[in-house]
């Protein structure tokens, strides 16, 4: 488990920078969607996309940190694991808070539940299965929490509310939850999967996370045309495109910068030469 899947990117940015962005930024943006419930509008639904972007950046960083221990297929696997934890925790938190009459506590309860599930999985993997991966418990806690915020954010963008009844009607019953699950997973797992290698830099990986999560925001914006007003849906869709354009330009510059610094190593040796 000691083989490194990444380069020197882990030293640039870490949990101290990305966790506050994901937790604080994600929850604040999520509760700004709650303005829809207070004011009886759906205009503020786009904040759900912002929440997902903040959380996906944090999740991508956590995936990158844990995947550096040579997990092989672990990058897609931990991405799917994270959204599995996230969707269960998201629906559990929203449902319990709604049924107990404290609907506005839903996002916070979903986040706490996902972190708890992630920690338990990390403990079992390290101490029972004996994977012996440093900081695995922290990483699984982070990816679980980040996935819950990402999926809840995308769901509130389509549902226009942080209340469980609206999410059930506008996201689950019509099948949009399937799209949310897939694009939420890709937003978190794809960045490091695309950027890993000896020349991986964390700023490039996380910039790609903004690219992938803004694509998720765009598609959820398109989906919201079926559930929200034209104005609210158009606002989410257009903002998703604008963020994608800015982020992709930045990512392309970083790709060219990092590619320029890579030296050619020649052809791979033949078997008899090894």
Task: Give the pLDDT band of residue 266 (cuts 50, 70, 90).
Answer: low
DSSP one-letter code for 261: T
Confidence class for position 9, pLDDT limits 50, 70, 90: very low
Q: Is the pLDDT of residue 2 over 70?
A: no
Residue 272 lies in a domain: no
Give me the DSSP letters along 57-70.
HHHHHHHHHHHTTT
Smallest CA-to-CA distance from 194 within 264, 258, 146 is with 258
Whether residue 60 contacts residue 9, with contact meaning beta carbons closer than 8 Å, is answered with: no
For residue 11, the 8-state DSSP code is G
CA dihedral 142, 145, 151, 156 (to 10 degrees): -140
pLDDT for 219-253, tens place per residue? Answer: 999 999 999 999 999 999 999 999 999 999 999 99
Residue owning tokens 């380069």: 7
Residues 6+ apart with CB under 8 A from 150: 26, 51, 52, 55, 56, 59, 83, 86, 184, 187, 188, 213, 216
Q: How confident is the model at residue 261 (pLDDT cuts 50, 70, 90)?
A: low
Examine residue 8 and state whether it is found in any structural domain, yes or no. Answer: no
Within a domain: 269 = no
Q: 101 in a domain, yes or no?
A: yes
Alpha-carbon Rg for the chain in angstroms: 19
Give the helix, strand, coil percentages of the chain, each rounded to 5.
80, 0, 20
Q: Does the residue 263 lie in any domain?
A: no
Residue 119: inside a domain: yes
Residue 20 belongs to what domain range? 14-256
DSSP, residue by residue, 132-152: --TTHHHHHHHHHHHHHHHHH
Q: Look at residue 229 in the predicted model and tell me its pLDDT.
A: 97
Residue 62 lies in a domain: yes
Q: Give residue 10's pLDDT.
A: 43
Token pair listed for 48: 């759900």
Question: Is there a domain that residue 117 lies in?
Answer: yes
Count the domains in the chain. 1
pLDDT digits (tens, 9 = 90+) for 94-108: 999 989 999 899 999
Residue 125 structure tokens:
């993997």
pLDDT at residue 12, as a whole number: 67
- Is the pLDDT score of 263 beyond 70? no
The pTM (predicted TM-score) of the whole model is 0.89
């Amino acid at each position: 488990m000691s083989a490194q899947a990444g380069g020197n990117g882990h030293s640039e940015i870490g949990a101290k920078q990305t966790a506050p962005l994901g937790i604080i930024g994600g929850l604040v943006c999520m509760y700004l969607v709650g303005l829809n419930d207070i004011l009886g509008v759906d205009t503020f639904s786009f904040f759900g996309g912002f929440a997902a972007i903040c959380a996906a950046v944090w999740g991508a960083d956590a995936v990158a940190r844990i995947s550096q221990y040579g997990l092989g297929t672990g990058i897609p696997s931990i991405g799917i694991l994270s959204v599995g934890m996230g969707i269960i925790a998201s629906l559990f938190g929203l449902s319990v808070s709604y049924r107990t009459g404290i609907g506005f506590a839903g996002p916070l309860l979903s986040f706490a539940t996902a972190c708890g599930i992630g920690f338990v999985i990390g403990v079992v993997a390290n101490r029972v299965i004996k994977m012996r991966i440093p900081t695995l418990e922290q990483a699984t806690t982070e990816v679980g929490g980040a996935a819950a915020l990402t999926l809840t954010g995308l769901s509130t963008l389509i549902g226009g509310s942080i209340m469980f009844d609206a999410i059930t009607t506008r996201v689950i019953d019509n099948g949009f939850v399937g799209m949310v699950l897939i694009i939420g997973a890709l937003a978190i797992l794809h960045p490091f999967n695309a950027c890993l290698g000896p020349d991986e830099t964390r700023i490039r990986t996380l910039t790609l996370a903004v690219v992938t999560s803004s694509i998720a925001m765009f598609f959820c914006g398109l989906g919201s045309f079926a559930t929200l007003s034209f104005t609210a849906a158009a606002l989410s869709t257009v903002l998703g495109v604008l963020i994608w354009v800015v982020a992709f330009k930045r990512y392309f510059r970083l790709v060219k910068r990092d590619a320029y610094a890579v030296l050619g190593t020649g052809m791979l040796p033949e078997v008899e030469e090894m």
